[in-house]
Structure 1
Amino acid sequence: MTQSARSDQDFQALMGDVTPLAGATNRADPGRRRRPPSEAQLARRESAQAETGQDSFLSDDFVDLLAPFDPIEYRRDGIQRGVLDRLRYGGYAAQARLHLLRRPLAECRRALPPFIQEAYAHDLRSVLIVHGRGREIDSPPNVLRSYLAKWLAQFDEVQAFVSAQQADGGLGATWVMLRKSERARAANRERQQKRRG
């Protein structure tokens, strides 16, 4: 007797008096007709879509996971390397902080856009996002860190971001440099004109 025939016999012996489910009660039956959603389900679905509509530009699709011990860094074209280095070494004070430690990914996705947009609206330039870092590539903090690197690059307000130094949270925190608002640019031009006389 072959190995596969013996395995089939063993399986049949184990299954003995087991009978298949009736077609009408089999929930996995692909031929089963689905009922239309109830009014309450439709209301919840609309509410969820309205709630997530504000941050729908942040994708929660597949992301390449970053290695747990690799720093992240990003800068838009035109941003000098020195600005990124100064940001990395804490040369700019943290004007605001967002703590995402131990929060679900969906909650982080909802919290990030208002934080970035409010910081930009208040003319803040450097903010620190604390997200944590796991030791395994697929640990929740590392998954969040990977998504954060993807999401931050999608904001027009973000000029650069880089992993923090150990004193500021290490690889579990990210410095973000925001671009100047139009109001801040106008104030800067005015100061420059006053200096020139």
Structure 2
Amino acid sequence: MSKQELSLFQAEMSDVRPLPASDQIESPRRSRPDLAQLARRDAAIARPQRDSNPLTLPDAVPEVGPLDIVGEKKNGVQEGVYRKLRLGKYEIQARLDLHRITTRDARVMVHDFLTHSFRHGLRTLLITHGKGNGRMKSHVMHWMLEADLVLAWHSAKPPHGGTGATYVLLRKSPDDSRRTREEYGG
């Protein structure tokens, strides 16, 4: 610092006096946190929950047209069982309607629907995705491929929604498989 700068600094600080010494500590008064602050604090403290949903939400999925008839069976599904599913011969045990649902919410709903149905021993389901522009239908078909619980699926017959809905066949629960083996001696 030059002599000129030092003298200018001392001139500016000439009227400054030190604070009196004190043994007391003054802490700033804090108001109680509001709800938003509490929520932010809880979110910062909480451990991030791991998403247990195996269904993905990719940016792009194979495009399915709104009027396209879709269907597939995974390995191990007998042709007669798949034919009955395609023809709508099985009783629909549960339904899920995805109209006016975002794909992000639909991903969660489809996973929960499949899991809940499997736990309760339901095998034949109907997912109504609508025709629209085919975007939701494309995602549902993608999820059917990913879902381990799903054995087969096919576009529904017109009374059940036609190409705007899909029949889904779930695998048997271990208890149902055991009961079938006992009943038929397998």
* CA deviation string 1:41-86 (max 9, x = no partner): 9938x78x63x7132x211111121122211111111212322221
Equivalent in the alignment of 1:72: 70
- Evaluate the alpha carbon distance shift between residue 80 and residue 190 of structure 1 in structure 2; reply closer, same or farther with a 3 A threshold: closer
Task: Report 1:170-185 matches (<5 A).
Answer: 170-185=162-177
Which whole-Å deviations, capped at 9, do the CAs of 1:3-45 have from their partners, x for residues lacking one?
xxxxxxxxxxxxxxxxxxxxxxxxxxxxxxxxxxx9939938x
TM-score (norm 2): 0.71
Consecutive unaligned residues of structure 1, counting only runs of 5 or more, are 1-37
Matches of 1:41 and 1:68, distance apart in 2:
46
Q: Which moved more, 1:74-83 or 1:104-113?
A: 74-83
Q: Which runs of 5+ in 2 are unaligned?
A: 1-36
Q: Closer, same or farther in 2 for the Cα pair 1:191/1:106, shift >3 Å?
A: same
Q: How does 1:10-159 map to 2 (within 5 A)?
A: 40=40, 43=43, 50=49, 53-55=51-53, 57-61=54-58, 62-134=60-132, 139=133, 142-159=134-151
User: Given the two structures, how large is their TM-score scaled by the length of structure 1?
Assistant: 0.68
The structure having more radius of gyration, on CA atoms, is 2
**CA distance in 2 between partners of 1:103 and 1:157 (Å):** 23
The answer for the alignment partner of 1:192 in structure 2 is 184
- Which structure has the highest helix share of the two? 1
Q: Confirm or deny: 8 A CA contact 2:71 2:152 kept in the other structure.
A: yes
- Mapped partners of 1:68, 1:192: distance in 2: 42
The AA in structure 1 aligned to 2:78 is Q
Task: Give the Cα separation in 1 of the matches to 2:43 and 2:70.
Answer: 40
How high is the sequence identity, in percent, across the aligned residues?
33
* Structure 2 Cα separation of the partners of residues 174 and 150 of structure 1: 13
CA displacement 1:69-110 (0-9 Å, x = unmatched): 211111111212322221121110001111111111111011
| Structure 2 residue identity aligned to 1:43 | A
CA distance in 1, matches of 2:156, 2:118: 20
Give the 3-state SS of the residue equivalent to 2:167 in structure 1: strand
Question: d(CA) in 1 for partners of 2:41 and 2:165?
Answer: 39
Query: Could you say what secondary structure the match of 1:98 adopts?
Result: strand
Count of matched residue positions in the alignment of Structure 1 and Structure 2: 147
Distance verdict in 2 for CA 1:58–1:42, change over 3 Å: farther
The CA distance in 1 between the partners of 2:75 and 2:120, in whole Å, is 24
Counterpart residue identity of residue 79, structure 1? V
